[in-house]
Amino acid sequence: MIHIKHSLIGEQTIQDLAHDYELPEVTECLFLARGLNDTYVLKTEKDNYIFRVYRKGWREEDAILFELEAIEFAQHEGIHSSVPIKRKDGQHLTKIEAPEGTRFGVMFTYSKGERPEITEENSGRIGRALANLHNATDRFKPSYSRGYELNINHLLKAPVGIVMKRLGHALTEEQETLLHEAVSKVKEVVENKELSYGFCHGDFHNFNFHLHDGNLEAFDYDCCGVGYRAYDIAVFWWNLKNNYPQQEKTCWRSFLNGYESVREISEADKKALPYFVAARRIWFMGILAANEDVWGRAWINGQNMNHFFGQLASDVRGFKEK
């Protein structure tokens, strides 16, 4: 018996599914990216559109509807994002009977422009955009269950369990000790403080934006949920540390200034930020370890383990200096 983990739907099938939407004639469909979900771009004479096919077992139907409801709520409150487009029958979800089981597809508007470069100016823009999103969604009351919250269980407990199960054989005793120490320190700070809690994008950094004529538009709410707002802020810092270390200090300061020009960050949330950077690292490793059908296992090697735990050790040293 053949077991299919993750199929790839052909472009012609996606183009055929576009007939279920009130769109101009689609002239071309291109496979754009494979990741935790599969993304296609549909081209028409006037505009482009994005069609996302959610992976089987990654997001259940209610969880997707939570995401779409949050995007539409934010849009109603003035937030610029790629938004879902309903089908001709008034539904958001297209059911696709794939070899691995039923998958769900969603059509989105296309965010014009390009990924913003990391500069002080753009970091300030992104900070203001996140603060505006947090303000806009303070009153968001979801009708659907996301299935998780961005809390200690989701960010630390579950990922560590996965890491130890899938990667335990690849860790040294020192690395395992460091992982548990980091988790303990983060939990101690988070659980003993009154931290802001509400809707979060969950992945708010320049890879999930397009900049067009000076305006930012966000997309990819796939990691969204209700949770710690300080975590949502810290994701941008994590991205700077990982991908733009030479610009970290100036752009992080610009991001925070941008955010606080719109919305205040409490002292408790500020103190928790470096701990949530570590939480993000741990969560991300858990995501990599849990989804071998996306990334395989080639990345599990000594060099990558040393790099990850070197960063985590730096985080922990930073805790001790505070």
CATH code for position 39: 3.30.200.20
- The per-residue pLDDT for 322 is 57
Same domain, 77 and 207: no
Same domain, 60 and 179: no
Same domain, 126 and 188: yes
Q: List Cβ neighbours of 253 (8 Å cut-off, separation of 6 or more).
A: none
- The per-residue pLDDT for 297 is 87
Q: What is the CATH number of the domain that holds 242?
A: 3.90.1200.10
Instruction: Report the distance separating Cα 105 and Cα 98, nearest Å.
Output: 11
Contact indicator for 252, 237 with CB cutoff of 8 Å? yes
Residue type, 85: I
Asked whether residue 4 is assigned to any structural domain, the reply reads no
**Mean pLDDT along residues 255-275:** 97
Report the domain count for the chain. 2
**Neighbouring C-alpha atoms within 13 Å toward the C-beta of 117:** 4
Tens digit of pLDDT for each residue in 14-70? 999 999 999 999 999 999 999 899 999 999 999 999 999 999 989 999 999 999 999
Q: State CA 169 to chain mean position distance.
A: 28
Percentage of the chain beyond pLDDT 70 is 99
Q: What domain range includes position 83?
A: 11-109
Asked whether residue 243 is assigned to any structural domain, the reply reads yes
Task: Indicate the residue among 77, 109, 141 that finishes a domain.
Answer: 109
Residue type, 128: R
**Mean pLDDT along residues 86-103:** 96
Same domain, 226 and 179: yes
Same domain, 254 and 205: yes
Q: Strand pairing partners for 105? A: 53, 94
For the chain, how far is it from start to end, CA to CA, in angstroms? 57
Task: Indicate the residue among 82, 109, 136 that finishes a domain.
Answer: 109
**Model's pTM, two decimal places?**
0.95
Same domain, 58 and 171: no
DSSP 168: G
Asked whether residue 3 is assigned to any structural domain, the reply reads no
Task: Indicate the residue among 53, 83, 109 that finishes a domain.
Answer: 109
Same domain, 271 and 138: yes
Asked whether residue 264 is assigned to any structural domain, the reply reads yes
Contact indicator for 50, 129 with CB cutoff of 8 Å? no
Tens digit of pLDDT for each residue in 72-88? 999 999 999 999 999 99
Same domain, 243 and 146: yes
- The per-residue pLDDT for 168 is 84
| 320 pLDDT tier (thresholds 50, 70, 90) | low
Question: Position of tokens 């689609």?
Answer: 26
- The per-residue pLDDT for 70 is 98
Same domain, 147 and 64: no
**For the chain, what is the mean pLDDT?**
95
For the stretch 288-294, contacts whose Cβ atoms lie closer than 8 Å and that sit 24 or more positions apart, written own/partner, are: 289/159, 289/162, 289/163, 289/165, 289/166, 289/167, 290/159, 290/162, 290/166, 291/36, 292/166, 293/5, 293/6, 294/6, 294/34, 294/35, 294/36, 294/55
Same domain, 131 and 276: yes
**Mean pLDDT along residues 295-307:** 89
- The per-residue pLDDT for 318 is 83
Contact indicator for 98, 56 with CB cutoff of 8 Å? yes
Asked whether residue 241 is assigned to any structural domain, the reply reads yes
Helical (H) or strand (E) element with 93: none
Q: Strand pairing partners for 37? A: 54
- The per-residue pLDDT for 63 is 97
Strands 215-218 and 209-212: antiparallel
Same domain, 153 and 200: yes
Q: Is the pLDDT of residue 321 over 70?
A: no
Instruction: Report the distance separating Cα 101 and Cα 57, nearest Å.
Output: 9
Contact indicator for 318, 248 with CB cutoff of 8 Å? no
Q: What's the token pair of residue 101?
A: 């089981």
Tens digit of pLDDT for each residue in 186-242? 999 998 789 999 999 999 999 999 999 988 999 999 999 999 999 999 999 999 999
Same domain, 139 and 288: yes
Ordered alpha helix ranges (H), the chain: 11-17, 61-76, 120-136, 152, 158-167, 173-191, 229-243, 248-260, 267-290, 292-295, 302-321
